[in-house]
Amino acid sequence: MASALDEDTQQSLAEGRESAKTFLRSIQKDLQKVFVVFLLGFLATFWALRTFVWEFLYTVTKSNMSPSVAAEADVIATTPFEVILLQAKIGLIVGAITALPALVYVSRTELRARGAWPQSPIPRWKLAGIALLGAGLFGVGVAYGVYAFFPIMFSFLAGFGLEAGIQPTYSIVMWTEFIVFLSLSFGLAGQMPLLITGLSYSGIVQYETFRDKWRYAVVAIFVFGAVFSPPDPFTQLMWAFPLVALYGFSLYLAKLVVTAQRSSDRIDVLGAARTHWNVVGGAAVLGGGLVYAFYEYGGRAAVNGLLRLANSDWRFLDPGSGLGVGPATGIAVYAAAWALMFVAVATLWAVYADLDTTSPGYQYGDPTAVDIADLDAAGVRAAPDDVFAQMDESESLGLAQAAMDDDDPEKAQAILDRYDAVADAADDAGDADSVDESRESGGAGGGGSGDDGLVGSMQDRTSRASTTFLSELTDGNEDEAEDDIGGYYTDLKFIFDSLRSRSFRLVAVFSAVMAAAFTWLYLGGLATVRNDLERRVPAQIEGGINIITLHPVEALIFMVKFSLLLGVIAVFPVLLYYAWPALRERGFVAGRIYQVYLWAGALGAGMIGGFALGYAYIAPGLIGWLVTDAELANMIITYQVSDFLWLVIYTTIGIGFLADIPIAMILLNNAGIPYRAFRERWREVLIGIMLVAAVFTPADVVTMLLATVPLMIAYGVGVGVLFAVTLGGRRDLSPPAEFVGR
C-alpha cells in the first residue's frame, strides 16, 4: 500500500527521528543528573505540601472572610486517594519544571551545534541577572495573587454563595487547581517586562507597536479581568490596575533598551545613579514617606472607610499583621520595600536620561529618519523596516560598500540582509494585490454575457476559501457541487450573508437579555429560586437540602451559562424574522414574513407552557422524590450546586423544549417538509439526538439515555400529531419544498 506521505515528508521525518536519537544519546550520560534534580523537586514539593502548604493556603482562603462566613467555608476531599494523588501530580509538575533548566544546561553543546543556542558565549552574570529578574517578577506576581487578590476573591465568592443558600464547601482538587491557575497567571503576567523588552530588543515586534497599541492592551486586560474574575468592581480593578501599571513599566523598560541599542550606547546603571543621585535619593525618601504617612496620618482609616461604603469585606490590616512583627517594624519593612521600588523607577529614568536620544532617527515618531551610516551591525538589525522601505537597491549597495571600506563586513551584510527582507515582503504584498486585481477585472470584464460573467459574479459573492473548496471538489461546476454536498453549503452561506447587516441588532438583543438575566440572578434571583423550590418540595426534611459548591466560581459559571441560554432563546425569533426572506428564497420555508409571528408565538407559548408545568409540578415532584428516597436510605442530602440547578433547568425549561418539538414539526410541515420525511427519517433524528446528548451530558450512559428517551418520545408524539393533522400524510399543510428532495 502506497504511503499517504510524499517522499520529502518521509525523509524529513526520518531525519528528525535520527536527530532526536542522536541528541538523546549525546546527553545520555547527563540524564542521571537531570533525574536527580527532578526527584529532588518532586520530593521537596510532596513534603512541603504535607507539612505547611495546605495549611497556608487554607489560611489565605479564610483570611479576609468575616467570622460568620469563615465558619461555613471548608475544603473537602471527595475520594479516598484524592489528596495523595493531587500531591503526587503537583510534585511531578514542579519536578519537571525544576529539571528543565538542568536539561537545557547539560544539552547546551548539542543545542549550539544545531543552531538553537548562541554561538558566542554569553557572560554568566548576564544569564544569572536575567534568571534572577525573571524569578523575582514571577515571585512578585504570585505573591500579589496569594496575599492580595485571593483573600478578597474568596471572601466575595463565599459571601455571595451563602446569600444564595449555597455552602462554600470546596473540593480540594478544584480549589487547588483554581489557586494554581490564577497564581501562574499572575506569575506569568509578571514576566511582561521581560517579554516586551525581549521582543523589542530582538526586533520580532517593534517597540513602536507596543507603544501605539497600548489602548488595545488596556482593553484586553480589563476584558480578561471581567471574564475571569468575579463580577465585583473592586475585584476587577484589583486585577486590571496592577497589570496596566506593569504594561506601562514594560513600555518604559523596552524604550530604554531599544534606545540604547539604536544609539549603540552602553547602559551604565551605576554611573547614571551617581550622576542623578539627588533624584534617586529623593525617590527613596518619597516612597518610604508615603508609606509612613499612609499608616501614621489616617490614610489607612480613610481607605477602609471607602471600602466599607463600597460593601467590600477587604480591609488594610494593621502594619505587621501576618508577618509576626510589631507595628513599628511592619511600617519599617513596608517603607523599605516601597523605597526600593521608587529607587528602581528613578534609576531607570536616570539611565534613559543619560542616553543619546537627540540624534535624528532616535525620535520614535519618525523611524525613517534613522541614519544607517551611523549605526553598527546590531543597530542595523534593530532599525525599523520603514528605513529600508525608503531605499532603492543602489543606495543599499552604496551603504554596504561604505561599511566594507570601513572594514565592517558584518554591518555590510546586515544592510543587505535587511534590504532584501523588506524588498521581498513588499514584492509578496504586490503579487497578492495584483492577483486580487486580476480576479476583480476578470469578473467584471466577463459580466456582459456568457458563462464567464456568471462565474465572475459568483466569485464576487463568495469568499476565496469557499470558491477554492468548491472548485477543488467539483472542478468549478456549481451544479455538480449542489449534487455532491446537497446544496446546503451554498444555501447556508446565502442565509448567513443576509444576516450580516443585522448582526449588530442580533448581538444587542442577545447581550441585553444575557445581562438582564445575569443581573437578576446575581442580585438575589438564585436564592429566590432555590428557596422557592425547597419550600414546595413535598418531603419535609429537617434542615432542608444542603447545596454546596465544589469549585470556588461554580455558582458564577452556572449563572453565565444560564444567561447565555436565555440569550439564545430570546434572539431566536429576531434571527428568524431577519432570515425569513433568505429562507423563503432558498426554499426552506413558505409564506410571507408574517409567518414569523406564528412561529414565534407558537414556540413561545409551548416554551412558557412547558416551563410553567415543570416549575409548578414536575421539578418539585422529582426533587421531592429524590430527597425522600435519600432520606429513607439514611443518607446526608448534599447536592452540588451545578447538578442541582441543571436538574431544575432540565425539569422546567427542558419541559418547554419538549413541548416545542411537536409544535416545531407542525410548523415545519406547514413550511413544506412532508409528513413522510418525519416518519421515514426517524433513524437520522435518533442518531443526531444521541450525538447531542453524548456531547452535552456527562460521560455516563444512563444520563445520556435519560436525555435521549424524552426527546425521542416528544418526536414520536410529534409524528403522531402530524399523522392526525395530515390525514396520514395524504394532505400536508403545505406543498413539499424543493430542498427536501436534494
183: which 3 cell numbers? 497564581
Which range, of 219-228, 359-368, 610-619, 642-651, averages the lowest pLDDT?
Answer: 359-368
Three-state DSSP at 81 gives coil
Contact of 574 with 504, CB cutoff 8 Å:
no
- In this prediction, residue 512 carries a pLDDT of 92
Contact of 161 with 198, CB cutoff 8 Å:
no
656: which 3 cell numbers? 418547554
User: 669 or 113, which is more confident?
Assistant: 669
Q: Specify the amino acid at residue 113.
A: A
Three-state secondary structure readout of 623-663:
HHHHHHHHHHCCCCCEEEHHHHHHHHHHCCHHHHHHHHHHH
Inform me whether the pLDDT recorded for 369 exceeds 80.
no
- In this prediction, residue 360 carries a pLDDT of 45
d(CA 366, CA 369): 6
d(CA 536, CA 575): 37
CA 386 to chain CA centroid, Å, is: 34
- In this prediction, residue 362 carries a pLDDT of 45
Inform me whether the pLDDT recorded for 411 exceeds 60.
yes
Nearest 5°: the CA angle 21, 22, 25 is 85
Of the pLDDT bands very low, low, confident and very high (cuts 50, 70, 90), residue 322 is low
- In this prediction, residue 462 carries a pLDDT of 36
pLDDT, average across residues 278-307 = 83
Three-state DSSP at 689 gives helix
Inform me whether the pLDDT recorded for 608 exceeds 80.
yes
514: which 3 cell numbers? 444575557
d(CA 433, CA 295): 64
User: 54 or 388, which is more confident?
Assistant: 54
Inform me whether the pLDDT recorded for 664 exceeds 80.
yes
Inform me whether the pLDDT recorded for 404 exceeds 70.
yes
- In this prediction, residue 121 carries a pLDDT of 65
d(CA 335, CA 333): 5
pLDDT, average across residues 173-198 = 83
Q: What is the mean pLDDT of the chain?
A: 75
Inform me whether the pLDDT recorded for 138 exceeds 80.
yes
Cross-strand bridge partners of residue 639: 547
User: 447 or 8, which is more confident?
Assistant: 8
Which range, of 9-18, 41-50, 507-516, 556-565, averages the lowest pLDDT?
Answer: 9-18
Nearest 5°: the CA angle 393, 399, 405 is 135
654: which 3 cell numbers? 427542558
- In this prediction, residue 681 carries a pLDDT of 83
User: 86 or 203, which is more confident?
Assistant: 86
H/E segment holding residue 707: helix 701-725
Of the pLDDT bands very low, low, confident and very high (cuts 50, 70, 90), residue 122 is low
Contact of 232 with 206, CB cutoff 8 Å:
no
pLDDT, average across residues 653-657 = 88
- In this prediction, residue 374 carries a pLDDT of 67
- In this prediction, residue 316 carries a pLDDT of 73
pLDDT tens digits, 479-529: 444 444 445 667 777 777 778 778 888 889 998 999 899 888 888 888 888
- In this prediction, residue 43 carries a pLDDT of 92
- In this prediction, residue 62 carries a pLDDT of 83
pLDDT tens digits, 419-465: 888 887 776 665 555 544 444 444 434 444 344 433 333 333 333 33
Residue 34: count other Cβ atoms within 10 Å of its Cβ.
20
- In this prediction, residue 649 carries a pLDDT of 86
H/E segment holding residue 421: helix 409-445
Of the pLDDT bands very low, low, confident and very high (cuts 50, 70, 90), residue 11 is low
Inform me whether the pLDDT recorded for 73 exceeds 50.
yes
d(CA 312, CA 73): 18
> Residues near 554 by Cβ (< 8 Å), separated by ≥ 6?
174, 640, 641, 642
pLDDT, average across residues 711-728 = 88
Cross-strand bridge partners of residue 336: none
Contact of 666 with 733, CB cutoff 8 Å:
yes
pLDDT, average across residues 343-353 = 79
738: which 3 cell numbers? 424543493
- In this prediction, residue 742 carries a pLDDT of 41
Region for 324 from its dihedrals, namely left if φ exceeds 0, alpha if ψ lies in -120 to 50, beta otherwise: left
First to last CA, the chain: 36
pLDDT tens digits, 148-182: 788 878 888 888 788 777 888 888 888 888 888 78
